[in-house]
Structure 1
Amino acid sequence: MSSHGDLPAVTEEHVPTASRPSDLRITDLRVANVAGVPFRSSIIRIDTNQGLAGYGEVRDQASATYALVLKSRLVGENPCNVDRIFRKIKQFGHHGRQGGGVSGVEMALVDLAGKAYGVPAHALAGGRFRDEVRCYADTPSLPDPHEMGARLLERKRRGFTMLKMDVGVDLLWDVPGALIAPAGARADSTTMHPFTGIQVTAKGIEHLASYVDTVRSVVGYDVALAADHFGHIALDSCIRIGRALEPFTLAWIEDLIPWQLTDQWRQLTEAVAVPTCTGEDIYLLDGFRPLLDAGAIRVVHPDPATAGGIAETKRIGDYAQERGIPMALHLAASPIATMASVHLAAATENFLALEHHAADVEFWSDLVTDLPRPLIQDGHITVPDTPGLGFGAINEDLVSRLLDPHDPVFFAETTHWDRESSHDRLWS
């Protein structure tokens, strides 16, 4: 019989020792900037002292600097302490694309923790409510509603059970009498909605309603259809558009006014019988509380690549559920952030659908390995049981060919960020 002193050695003969979670440490953070997946994205790779690598993704069209500035705060940390590290770095994120660094790093930490413990990311988030995640296909609009309907119908025939299109002032600029707008308003993308002076006339309202009516006649009423990109118009025009679109049973009308204007969202929601939806540019649960506490929207729509990553976005979903509000997920990303969102969606009970913005990107599913091809089948993604985010690795050859021509180095070394430092404490 073995002595007590022999027990550890005997036990180790029967367990895997390639990863010792308690000894895992972050050694490096690098990014690869890629284009066309569908937009410009920065893929994050966090390396460790045990050879494990975790992947995340900075939000589409955001600066990789939002992630790189975090490197000196991460090196030496145990990535399995996801919540501890998140609390340390969340002060360096903000709304919109500025949340992309913290959120992408959190995804990579969850990927690493899952790999270290040998469990899928949804298990770390509390387990799953579903085996498949429904996706909705976002589709840029065409001026002709019959052509737009045909484009959406092609998505439906691929198996998507939910679709989204753009409906707004971009369809009206060339329609005589549809808009009242000051000079230069068409090119102005920086002025907040209430201050642009753009008004939609009765003729404009009628044109938009006719457009949606035609699209619905093509795709039918057996598929969910949402609408987005209404333009920078004030509340009164938004209410009139919302009321005109009521007959078409839309899944939601999205981002009609800035998310910061809680009281205006409440007024809009109370005025129309169409679900209202916003949230893609809000960072952290604290940013969502005013809208949710006021009952100002009917669907909450965070982007996990802005909101704070997997765990924080689940907290947002759970908070919304307590107030009777479902959660859809905004996303325009590669399969990396998509798989992070799949695990999040699987673990969140009030989840509705996950945005897919790359229905026309033929190589999209090939960006990572060891997942089904195509990744989206019949409008759904199967929730994997493999560790971390669930894919084997990134497709290095393909990613290398897609590198941003302005920054064409594949996971370039980042030692110049090692000594970036600051007294970060937020109290004295």
Structure 2
Amino acid sequence: MKIARIETFVVPPRWLFVRVETQDGAFGWGEASLEGWAESVDGAFEALRDRFIGHDPRRIEDIWQVAYRGGFYRGGPVLMSALAGLEQALWDLKGRHYGVPAWEMLGGQVREFIRAYAWIGGDRPDDVAANAAARREQGFTAVKMNATAELDFLGTPKLLDEVVQRVRAAQAEGMDVGLDFHGRVHKPMAKQLAKLLEPLGLLFIEEPLLSENPEGLAQLSQLVSTPIALGERLYSRWDFKPFLAAGAVDIIQPDLSHAGGILECRKIAAMAEAYDVAVAPHCPLGPLALASCLQLAACTPNLAIQEMSLGIHYNVGHDLLHFVTNKDALTPVEGNLPIPQGPGLGVEIDEAAVREAAKEPHRWRNPVWRYKDGSFAEW
């Protein structure tokens, strides 16, 4: 069995799908979506094609090692997202070849389902109570929302009070709440806000500071009892290593389409388990990314909860299940996602629909925000 083709498809709303096919017609799908950088990731596949056309697709670890280490320069969001999409597609292909789910080849099943959470509130959080009520009607028991819009290094008590009011509004609708600081909050305000939120019993505070500031995160973790989560901007086990060693994080959030794929994130999760740290994969992306997360959930003891993008504000025109033909595989039941039982990643993709959509590739970009004085503000 040899790889004959590695195809990529830039499809709306902001996804990049990967399809690997062998000389005898076996195939697998993966997702290499990197929000705002689809063209760069797509370009990285030129080198991957040069290296792996003609390679045995079942030798996934060998392909990963060559892709990661063999190009001399390694890591970072673009290269690791391309590698992640390829790796996912190889697990899908291998599982289809042997007629088993990917999780069966990664140690076997440890749970029947995983609790899921959905997004509310948008980029600048608004209509929180109504959105939380709508998610409750869908069966969700947990939601995540952005804490604030853009926030200066020094803000006012009124802005902090508004964050507390939004959390309470969502909780009043019966929701457990995770709060995403999104790297928008700088250290002087993050300390105040985290302390103010502590009595509310949040699931976690996410990226209270950017991962570029590990010292500040370690300090913050000593100030509050609320679990601290981060990891969507870390791309390998080596990136996660110092945060685990420093005790700076309670929940890690690797993105399976950014951090090297399913097996790399399984290795990251095993590292976290040794530090008694939970895993809650980042996944505001497409169906293949979510299906990959569920393969990880199936075989990973310390995976606690799963993000999903159903109805997220970014999914304009195409929602999570648009390209999926067996939609039940990724449909939550009473706020939980079932572990896929089908071979490979367990989802079936409408190939014709993907090819048609890719004829008009998206050019999604995140917004650029500025403070009132005209200086750049973190999105």
Q: Aligned residue for 2:21?
A: 47
CA distance in structure 2 between the aligned counterparts of 1:309 and 1:299, rounded to whole angstroms: 19
CA distance in structure 1 between the aligned counterparts of 2:118 and 2:142, rounded to whole angstroms: 7
1:368-414, CA deviations, whole angstroms, 9 ceiling, x for partnerless residues? 2235276233222222222211123x213432453362579xxxxxx
Q: Aligned residue for 1:335?
A: 287
Matched, 1:136 2:113: no
Which one-letter code corresponds to 2:22 in the other structure? T
Secondary structure of the residue that 2:304 maps to in structure 1? strand
CA distance in structure 2 between the aligned counterparts of 1:77 and 1:33, rounded to whole angstroms: 24
Moved over 6 A (4+): none
Q: Aligned residue for 2:67?
A: 89
Q: Aligned residue for 1:385?
A: 341
Q: Aligned residue for 2:145?
A: 165
Relative distance call for 1:88 and 1:140 in structure 2 (3 A) is: farther
1:85-117, CA deviations, whole angstroms, 9 ceiling, x for partnerless residues? 100102465333442101111101111111222
Q: 1:59: how far off?
A: 2.2
Q: Aligned residue for 1:405?
A: 360
Secondary structure of the residue that 2:257 maps to in structure 1? helix
Matched, 1:208 2:163: yes
Q: Aligned residue for 2:185?
A: 233
CA distance in structure 1 between the aligned counterparts of 2:125 and 2:326, rounded to whole angstroms: 40
Matched, 1:35 2:9: no
Contact 1:255 1:278 in 2 (8 A): yes
CA distance in structure 2 between the aligned counterparts of 1:30 and 1:140, rounded to whole angstroms: 35
Relative distance call for 1:280 and 1:164 in structure 2 (3 A) is: same
Contact 1:139 1:357 in 2 (8 A): no
**Which residue of 88, 95, 119 corresponds with 1:114?**
95
**Which residue of 5, 16, 25 corresponds with 2:2?**
25
Relative distance call for 1:139 and 1:52 in structure 2 (3 A) is: same
**Which residue of 260, 265, 285 corresponds with 2:217?**
265
Which one-letter code corresponds to 1:105 in the other structure? L
Query: Normalising by the residue count of structure 2, what TM-score does the alignment of the two structures yield?
Result: 0.86
1:45-100, CA deviations, whole angstroms, 9 ceiling, x for partnerless residues? 11101210111111242332233431111111111111111001024653334421
Which one-letter code corresponds to 1:215 in the other structure? A
Relative distance call for 1:230 and 1:76 in structure 2 (3 A) is: closer
Query: Structure 1 stretches of 5 or more lacking a match?
Result: 1-23, 173-180, 182-197, 409-428
Instruction: Please tell me whether Structure 1 or Structure 2 has the larger radius of gyration of its CA atoms.
Output: 1
Q: Aligned residue for 1:299?
A: 251
CA distance in structure 1 between the aligned counterparts of 2:3 and 2:124, rounded to whole angstroms: 50
Secondary structure of the residue that 2:263 maps to in structure 1? helix
Contact 1:365 1:373 in 2 (8 A): no
Using the TM superposition, name which of 288-297 and 228-237 deviates more: 228-237
Secondary structure of the residue that 1:33 maps to in structure 2? strand
Relative distance call for 1:148 and 1:157 in structure 2 (3 A) is: same
Q: Aligned residue for 1:151?
A: 131
Relative distance call for 1:319 and 1:29 in structure 2 (3 A) is: same
Which one-letter code corresponds to 1:90 in the other structure? Y
Q: Report the aligned-residue RMSD.
A: 2.2
Count residues in correspondence: 352
Query: Normalising by the residue count of structure 1, what TM-score does the alignment of the two structures yield?
Result: 0.77
Query: Structure 2 stretches of 5 or more lacking a match?
Result: 364-379
Secondary structure of the residue that 2:17 maps to in structure 1? strand
Using the TM superposition, name which of 313-322 and 207-216 deviates more: 207-216
CA distance in structure 1 between the aligned counterparts of 2:5 and 2:123, rounded to whole angstroms: 45
Which one-letter code corresponds to 1:106 in the other structure? E
Secondary structure of the residue that 1:69 maps to in structure 2? helix
